[in-house]
C-alpha cells in the first residue's frame, strides 16, 4: 500500500530517518469554517490578562457553535502541543459560554493561523533528549487556582 500520507486530518511526511506530522489542511478548514482565514495572526496563543477577566455580566454565546469550535481546537492539539493548555482553558466553560470565552477561542484561532505549517518532527538519531517546561504561578489564578 505504500507510505501513509494522510489519515483522519493528520498529514504525514516520511523520508529517510524522519517523520513529520502536521494538520495544516485541518487548521485551514477550521479557519474557513469560523471565517478567520483572513484574520491578523497572533504571536501568542492566549490573551495575556486572562486571570483578571470577569465574565459574570457578559453576554452568552451559542453553546453549540462554541462546542464545535472548542472540539475542533482540541483535535488540533494532536500536532500542536503548544496550544494544549490554552485550549483547555476555554473548554472549561462549555455549559454557559460567554462572549469573553468566545473571544479567547478566537484569539487561539488567530494564533493557529500563524502556525498552520507547524507540526511534530521525529528524527532518528542517537542524541535524543526530551525537554519539558512549565510556567507555574503557584495557584495565582483566582479563576481555577
pLDDT tens-digit map of 63-111: 999 999 999 999 999 999 889 888 988 898 898 899 988 999 999 999 9
Contact assessment for residue 36 and residue 106, using Cβ atoms and an 8 Å cutoff? yes
Cell of 31: 479557519
- This prediction's pTM: 0.81
Across 94-113, b (16+ Cβ under 10 Å) vs e yields eeebbebbbebbbbbbbbbb
Q: Which residue has the cell 516520511?
A: 14
- What mean pLDDT is predicted for residues 53-64? 82
d(CA 85, CA 132): 14
Predicted confidence at residue 56, as pLDDT, reads 74
Q: pLDDT digits over 113-126, tens only?
A: 999 999 999 888 77
For the chain, give every domain's residue range.
6-123
Amino acid at each position: 500500500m505504500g507510505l501513509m500520507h494522510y489519515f483522519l486530518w493528520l498529514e504525514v511526511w516520511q523520508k529517510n530517518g524522519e517523520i513529520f506530522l502536521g494538520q495544516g489542511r485541518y487548521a485551514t478548514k477550521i479557519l474557513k469554517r469560523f471565517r478567520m482565514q483572513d484574520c491578523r495572526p497572533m504571536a501568542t496563543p492566549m490573551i495575556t490578562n486572562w486571570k483578571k477577566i470577569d465574565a459574570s455580566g457578559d453576554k452568552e454565546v451559542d453553546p453549540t457553535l462554541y462546542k464545535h469550535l472548542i472540539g475542533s481546537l482540541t483535535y488540533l492539539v494532536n500536532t500542536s502541543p503548544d496550544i494544549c493548555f490554552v485550549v483547555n482553558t476555554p473548554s472549561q466553560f462549555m455549559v454557559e459560554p460567554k462572549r469573553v470565552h468566545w473571544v479567547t477561542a478566537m484569539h487561539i484561532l488567530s494564533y493557529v493561523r500563524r502556525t498552520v505549517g507547524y507540526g511534530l518532527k521525529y528524527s532518528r538519531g542517537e542524541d535524543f533528549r526530551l525537554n519539558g517546561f512549565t510556567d507555574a504561578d503557584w495557584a495565582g489564578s483566582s479563576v481555577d487556582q
